[in-house]
Structure 1
Amino acid sequence: MKITHLCKLLGLLLGIIVLFGVVPRASAAEPIEIFDAHLHYNWEPKPYFSLDEVLALFKKHRVTGILATSRPNDGTRALVAAQAVGKAEGLWVVPFIRPYRIRADIGSWFNDPSIYDLVREEYARGGYRGVGEFHLTGRAAATDWVRKTVDFAVAHDLYLHAHADAEAIEILFAHNPKSRIIWAHTGFSLEPARVAALLDKYPTLWGELSYRGGITEGGRLSPAWRALFERYPDRFLIGSDTWINERWASYGEIIAGYRRWLAELPPEIAAKIAHGNARALFKDAAPPVR
């Protein structure tokens, strides 16, 4: 009888413990963390979304790292400053120099010596890990000012973030074979076989997948891109490309879209593409920009 009473008492105590949360309860698995390797926080002349708003977006959607750029570079500095003072808790900011002052520079920077001066002056602030995103099509990449920019990046251990077609990618590597290039959009609609050929030819080329067509078919990961990810698990990154306000407004949807097809890959490959490859590239990140 005493044993029966003791069991009932123990059962009652266990129920009270669980009720008040003393024993941890199982929680739903957190979504895979994301390193956003193509982010713009443009200031023209000021951002549409406040710094607090974008930091809240990163936290809400478990974005734990960003490749930060802006036009002009004020927005990037604001993100780095937020990290430096602890305002961007849990966020790793990797700053790149955007070689644009205004949007019109997109079409002329590759022939503009003042842009080369801008890159050097911005670099002198300290902390930058790359140059870009910049835009190049075909032979526009063949100018002396692009070559100077490529050589500057190599000399100072900087990555290049290139929105470029396949021809321009080839020219960038021809300027300096030691270049390290993050290929924004990975050619947009370039056939997977050509993407694979370029990855084989250039070991220091990584594909960033924002706006990249063909990754999914009917809402599922396409066989061609599954094969690419399995063949080159260390060579792809993902990004939001928040170049217009609408991309910020749909930020959560963009990140969720990545997670849907990442979930179809083996976990170790998904983790590399989601965040591991970016962290491997920038593990030696310099001190923050002043």
Structure 2
Amino acid sequence: MVSLRFALVLVALLATDAVSYPGDFPLFDAHIHYNHDVWDSLPPNEAVQRLREAGILRALVSSSSDEGTQKLYAEAPDLIIPELRPYRKTGETGSWFRDESVIEYLQERLARYRYVAIGEFHVSGANADLPVVRHLVLLAKQHGLLLHAHSDADAVDRLFRHDPDARLVWAHAGYEPPSLVHELLRRHTHLWVDLSSRDDLTANGKLVPEWRALLVEFPDRFMVGTDTHAPHRWNAIGSSARSVRGWLADLPADIAERIAHKNGEEVLTQAFLKGG
């Protein structure tokens, strides 16, 4: 039986199309963190206000620790799409994949809360074959969740070898060049790319030709994001949104709209609702 709270959230999500947004397009921000080092200076209501003022339709949120995500979701369940990060505090990006206690932490959170994905987590190269990472991928499969990986191309391939049916959002396109991103998109049909923190997308205010060609060829595989990995990044929510809308204007309107918010809605919001 669907809970009253979830029913209210569902109504709010489905009614969002009627809301007016600043700028050309509402945005689905696929890379937001609300880590413990920002809670005191930026309370949940103010964080939510910043997202709304920037015209963010929905935000995929993971945090160190997960309590940050739960704080934002409680404040704005119509706006926040939660994912579960394997970090209990900042500074675990280079150690979590060797820490077996991470799995117990993930299991405990998965038993208590609803999520759309596990991530954003950092892993590169052969570290993606370590037992903790394999177990994380298994947990995602068992719970019907996506993965959100900050990884190089090698690790992405390894994650898909653990579960060929995995659905994976690739944070920052791994900071890989467009040619390699192209290869992976062709190789993995359930791979989506989050373009947060990619300063190489544009030159002189226009999309770089290699990136523009890639976005046009795979319009249903890209999302945008801010990456609030540190407290000061929350001050960039508005400028990041304006920058994104700037380069989206260099694309055909239908493709721009898909990348701005439709891909996130179809891949993440709908998966979250179905998971309920």
* TM-score, normalised relative to structure 1: 0.84
Amino acid at match of 2:53: K
Runs of 4+ residues deviating >2 angstroms? 27-31, 44-48, 286-289
Superposed CA offset, 1:16-59 (max 9, x none): xxxxxxxxxxx998431001100001114834311121111112
Please name the residue that 1:72 is paired with.
65
Aligned with 1:119 (options 89, 106, 116) = 106
Q: Contact 1:215–1:225 at 8 Å: present in 2 too?
A: yes
Task: Return 5+ residue gaps in structure 2 as ranges.
Answer: 1-19
Please name the residue that 1:92 is paired with.
79
Task: Return 5+ residue gaps in structure 1 as ranges.
Answer: 1-26, 85-90
Aligned with 2:227 (options 224, 227, 241) = 241
Q: Contact 1:41–1:47 at 8 Å: present in 2 too?
A: no
Distance 1:46 1:191, change over 3 A: closer
Please name the residue that 1:229 is paired with.
215
CA distance in structure 1 between the aligned counterparts of 2:80 and 2:21, rounded to whole angstroms: 28
Please name the residue that 1:161 is paired with.
148
Please name the residue that 2:26 is paired with.
33
Greater radius of gyration (CA): 1
The answer to whether 1:277 aligns with 2:260 is no
More displaced stretch, 49-58 vs 226-235: 49-58
Amino acid at match of 1:92: L
Q: What does 1:54-69 align with in structure 2 at a 5 Å threshold?
A: 54-69=47-62
Q: What does 1:95-174 align with in structure 2 at a 5 Å threshold?
A: 95-174=82-161
Distance 1:173 1:284, change over 3 A: closer
Deviation at 1:139, TM superposition (A): 1.1
Distance 1:79 1:287, change over 3 A: farther
Cα RMSD after superposing both structures: 2.0
* TM-score, normalised relative to structure 2: 0.88
Distance 1:257 1:30, change over 3 A: closer
Amino acid at match of 1:252: G
Amino acid at match of 2:258: K
Deviation at 1:83, TM superposition (A): 2.4
Q: What does 1:177-196 align with in structure 2 at a 5 Å threshold?
A: 177-188=164-175, 190-196=176-182
CA distance in structure 1 between the aligned counterparts of 2:186 and 2:48, rounded to whole angstroms: 37
Q: Contact 1:183–1:208 at 8 Å: present in 2 too?
A: yes
Distance 1:259 1:183, change over 3 A: same
Please name the residue that 2:240 is paired with.
254
Q: Percent identity?
A: 38
Larger helix proportion of the pair: 2
